[in-house]
Amino acid sequence: MSSLMPDTLEKPVTQDKDRAGFRLAVFGAVLVVVLFAGYGIGRLNESGTAAPTGAAMPGMATDETQPHGHGAEDATPSSAPMTMGSTVGGLALSSGGLTLAPESTTFQAGKAQPFRFRITGASRAPITAFAVVHDKPLHFVVVRRDLTGFQHLHPTMAPDGTWSIDLTLAAPGSYRAIADFTAVVGGSQVPATLGADLTVPGDYQPVALPAPAEQATTGTFQISYAGTPRVESTQPLLMTVTGADGRPAALQPYLGAYGHLVVLREGDVGYVHVHPEPQLVDGKVKFWLAAPGPGRYRMFFDFQVAGQVHTAAWSVTVN
C-alpha cells in the first residue's frame, strides 16, 4: 500500500498543472486574435475602406440648423466661444485632395460669358456627388480683389461634373472666384472652399475700401448691424433691416436661412461664410463671428424681402 501512495498523490498535482497550462495557452491565443483584429481595424481606417467615427452619410447634408461659418475644410460651429479667429477659405486652388479646375479664366469687361469649371479628386477625375447645404450643392462667390463687384451665385452641374453659369464681370481687374461646397467622396462628406483668379484685361482702376460704418443702404432698405467682430472670441452680430416706411422689413428665408453673411479680408480675399441662428431675434438676424485675424474686411449680407434678394455691404476694421 505504501508503495502506491506517492503515485496517488502525484496525479492531482500533474492534472492541475496541465489545466493551468491549457488555460494559459487559450488566453494567449485569444490575446493574439484580439491584437490582430485591432490591427486590422486600424488598417481599414487608414485606407479609407471603413468610415471614421462620426462621418456623415453620403447624400445627406450636414447639420445647418445651428449658427456656424464656412471657411476652410473645418467649419467650426461659431456659436461656441473661441480663443482664436475663424479659419479662412478660398485661398488655395487645391486642398484635401480636391481641386478647382476652371476651363477659362479670362473675361471681357461687361460682357456675359459662360464660366465652366469642375471639382476634381486626387485622380483628377471630376467629382459628381455633392451634399446639399442651405438648399444648394455649391455656393459660388466672385469679387474683384479690391472687394468690389461682389456676386453670390449658384451654378448648375451637368452629369459629367461640369459646373456652369453665365458670369458678367463689370470692370477690368483681377477677380477671385470662390467655390464653397461639400463633396461626397468614398462615402464620406468632404467640405472645402477653393479659389481661383479670373482676369479682365483693360485699364484697372482700383477702388479704395469705404470707411467703416454700421449702416448701409440698398434699394429702399436701410440696414444696420450691432456688434464688434474680434479675433480672440466669437461675438454676436445683429442685423436690422428697415423699409422705406421706417418699419422693420418682413424678412423671408433665403437658401434655408433668414440671411447669409460673407466676410472677405482685404489683401488676400480670405473668405468666411457665416449662417445665422434659425429664428429671428426681435425681428433681427443674429450671426456669430470670430474674425480670422487683424485687418480690414468687407462684410456682405444677403437677405430676402417679397421674393427679391438684396445685398448690404459694410467695411469693418478688426484690431
Spans of all domains in the chain: 1-50, 72-200, 215-318
Q: What's residue 293's pLDDT?
A: 93
**Grid coordinates belonging to 186:** 468614398
DSSP string of the chain, one letter each residue: -TTTHHHHHHHHHHHHHHHHHHHHHHHHHHHHHHHHHHHHHHHHHHHTSSPPTTPPPTT-----SS-EEE-SS----TTS--SSPPPPBSS-SEETTEEEEES--B--TT--EEEEEEEE-TTSPBP--B--BTTBSEEEEEEETTS-S-EEE--EE-TTSEEEEEE---SSEEEEEEEEEEEEETTEEEEEEEEEEEEE-S-----PPPPP-SEEEETTEEEEEE----SSS-EEEEEEEE-TTSSBP-EE-BTTBS-EEEEEETTT--EEEEE--SS-BTTBEEEEE--SSSEEEEEEEEEEETTEEEEEEEEEEE-
CB contact at 8 A, 199 and 174: yes
Place of cell 448691424: 225
CATH label, 215-318, candidates 2.60.40.1930, 1.25.10.10, 2.60.40.10, 3.90.960.10: 2.60.40.1930
Q: What's residue 232's pLDDT?
A: 84
What's the CA gap between 29 and 22, in Å, rounded? 11
Domain spanning 72-200: CATH superfamily: Macroglobulin (MG2) domain (2.60.40.1930)
Q: Exposed (0-12), middle (13-18) or buried (19+): which is 97, by Cβ within 10 Å?
A: middle
Q: Exposed (0-12), middle (13-18) or buried (19+): which is 14, by Cβ within 10 Å?
A: exposed
CB contact at 8 A, 189 and 182: yes
User: Could you say which residues of the chain have pLDDT below 70?
Assistant: 1-85
**Grid coordinates belonging to 230:** 474680434
pTM over 0.85: no
3 CB neighbour count, 10 Å cutoff: 6
Same CATH fold assignment for domains 72-200 and 215-318: yes
What's the CA gap between 85 and 291, in Å, rounded? 5
Q: What's residue 19's pLDDT?
A: 45
